[in-house]
Structure 1
Amino acid sequence: MLFQVIFLTYLILSDKEGQVIQDIRYHSIRSLGWIQYHGDNDAQSQLCKLGYAGMMAVAVGICGGCIVNNNGDIKLALSSIGCFFNRIHEGRKTQYFYHHPVPPQPELIKPSEEQLEEEGGNEEIEQWMAKKQKEKYQNIKFRTIQTKYTILNSFCNKLNGQQRYNEHDYYYDEDRNDGINIDDDEM
């Protein structure tokens, strides 16, 4: 009987620890994404030097692991990767009064792509592209395709009806009304 109580206590503590770890991961990804989204040239450069692209690639891999499969964290990390590469490829135009324009930073492209490659980010992203088309993964697959387009810096004429998803589709979830609900299992 005592063994069963100890075992159940261990399971409860493990679940609580897992939730705490998941919360820390979620808020870390979100905080870095906020800095990246709202930052200026210096913020982009510092994030590149600190290995931001590699960290987000690791986040996609960890969140999709067999132990923790959190779709909210995966979508957030994919959006962060896409937004970061979009900024360094295309820059940012002034959209709101609190955003300063950021010019493209081509000198950050190669180191960021190398970080992503070192951490296996391309494989992680392609793995999510190859997932079976279950309804549960459609939003992740959509974000994955957006991210891949941005990393590859694919050009598509903006006037074309089948245009590539542009900067407005990469957002920091806090700025959207339909933000991520991490309690929802059908993300």
Structure 2
Amino acid sequence: MKERFVPLIHINCPSYIKCQQCISVVSSASIQQLHIAVIQQLAEVSEDNKEFKNILVKDHNIIPHLTSPIIQFASQSQLNKKIIQQQSESFDQSFISSSINLLNNLINNKEAHEQIINTPNFLNSLIKLTQFKFNYDTNKEEDNQSILIRNKSKECLDYIHRWGDEQTQVELVTNGYPRVLINIINTVGGNEQEYDVGIFQGLENISNFFSVILKGRQTNYFNHGPSFPPQPVLFKSFQEQIEDEGAYEEIEAQLVNKGRGVYNDIKNNANYAKRRILNFFVDQSNPRRWWYNDKF
């Protein structure tokens, strides 16, 4: 059944990707809604289906069908004081969020990941969309769409980091991923993202990314991404970015955050992130306890 609706992703493909399987029809609201529904169904079906992911990537060349509209959507927005203001109605926001969601499911496919990383301006576009916001009064549905675009963009960047190789980490730092990590927990400056889930995950991602840059990564039972050695050259840029965003102040602010529900461990995560960052400056020749490498 799922193979039957896959070709529908080729309805009115963007002309600039020169798709040989394009199905040209007269555009309408119904056609746009159909396209969105197809993308959403593909995301649901592909989540845990390796074979189906291969079909999408290899047989239908789906990556440019998803990345190209996202890049164009981001390019038609203007970054101003950390708020991306919408300038165009040419894309339906639900299509963009659905496309990013599908990409999230495909990132652990090696060929898909390589295409995503090698797509010019895509990482930069995702980083812009982590701050997407309408520039006019919106209703609840539109506001939810902007939140969804921001959250899915952050999630996509996290997946790219998790499944990325050495060069991927370089591209992430170069394009400003460390700034995104700090902005997620930015509550000191009155940032709107005071959500426990975002803060909890943001602190965890800061710790993990910091560790990966300094110590490298090994493929194992808990980490299915590729192995690579420590990246000390990246640290200077990483440090500059997190300092510019007030990382230390933001982490300090979370030391009094008790959190709610399953995210009541925010304070411990903040302490963990703080220790990891501060321990970088400890004399590396000093003897360490046996648990140091695991904890810090």
Does TM-score exceed 0.5, indicating one fold?
Answer: yes
2:100 corresponds to: none
1:103 corresponds to: 229
* Contact residue 212 and residue 230 of structure 2 kept, 8 A: yes
Q: Does 1:85 align with 2:239?
A: no
Q: What 5-or-longer segments of structure 2 have no aligned partner? A: 1-136, 283-287
Q: 2:274 aligns with which of 148, 164, 169?
A: 148
The letter for the 2-side match of 1:157 is: R
> What is the CA deviation profile of residues 115-171 of structure 1, one whole-angstrom value per residue up to 9, with x for unaligned ones?
00101122111111134x4666631112212222222245752347xx8635xxxxx
Moved more, 55-64 or 118-127: 55-64
1:174 corresponds to: none
Shift of 1:13: 4.8
Q: 1:40 aligns with which of 160, 165, 172?
A: 165
User: 2:200 and 2:244 mapped to 1: Cα distance?
Assistant: 21
* Larger-Rg structure: 2
User: 1:70 and 1:90 mapped to 2: Cα distance?
Assistant: 30
* TM-score relative to the length of structure 1: 0.68
* Contact residue 188 and residue 253 of structure 2 kept, 8 A: no
Q: Does 1:120 align with 2:252?
A: no
Number of aligned residues: 152
2:264 corresponds to: 138
Q: 1:27 aligns with which of 140, 143, 152?
A: 152
Moved runs in structure 1, 4+ residues, more than 6 A? none
* Contact residue 30 and residue 76 of structure 1 kept, 8 A: no
Which protein has greater RCO, CA pairs closer than 8 Å, 6+ apart?
Answer: 1
Shift of 1:22: 2.2
1:165 corresponds to: 295
Shift of 1:78: 1.6
* Contact residue 173 and residue 237 of structure 2 kept, 8 A: yes
User: 2:267 and 2:147 mapped to 1: Cα distance?
Assistant: 22
Shift of 1:58: 1.4
Q: Aligned runs of 1:48-67 on 2, under 5 Å?
A: 48-61=173-186, 65=190, 67=192
The letter for the 1-side match of 2:170 is: S
* TM-score relative to the length of structure 2: 0.45
Q: What 5-or-longer segments of structure 1 have no aligned partner? A: 1-11, 167-187
Alpha-carbon spacing, 1:153–1:24, altered in 2? closer, same or farther (3 Å): farther
Aligned-residue RMSD, C-alpha:
2.9
% identical equivalent positions: 30
User: 1:27 and 1:149 mapped to 2: Cα distance?
Assistant: 29
